[in-house]
Amino acid sequence: GQQLNQSPQSMFIQEGEDVSMNCTSSSIFNTWLWYKQEPGEGPVLLIALYKAGELTSNGRLTAQFGITRKDSFLNISASIPSDVGIYFCAGPKVSTFGNEKLTFGTGTRLTIIP
């Protein structure tokens, strides 16, 4: 099935650095969700975006709904060790039967180098 494309696929950064990642699609989305998954756990919802151009923060995390509605961005400021994990974007996609299902991105794996 169709997946959203995330970049970069992986990041290796030092503690304290800022992080930027993005998610793109060939289709328009009317909602963007950002999740974080830590090893051995399920994805946890970080931020939800509902309007083109919207900028929403959750602590050190800031996410933006792209103006074209085909992309979204997630920034993490002053990274700390607990930021390690895989970050997924997700958006609802209308299915064959007319109802919406979430499509997930391929993920960005964040590693912090000591």
Partner 1 sequence: DAGITQSPRYKITETGRQVTLMCHQTWSHSYMFWYRQDLGHGLRLIYYSAAADITDKGEVPDGYVVSRSKTENFPLTLESATRSQTSVYFCASSEGIREQYFGPGTRLTVT
Q: Which residues bind partner 1 (CB under 8 A)?
A: 1, 3, 31, 33, 35, 40-45, 48, 88, 90, 92, 97, 99-102, 104-107
**Residue 13 CB, nearest approach to partner 1 (Å):** 22
DSSP state of 82: G
3-state secondary structure 45-84: EEEEECCCCCEEEECCEEEEECCCCCEEEEEECCCCHHHC
Query: 17 or 111, CB closer to partner 1?
Result: 111
Query: Least distance in Å: CB of 40 to partner 1?
Result: 8
Closer residue to partner 1 (CB): 44 or 78: 44
8 Å CB contact between 4 and 105: yes
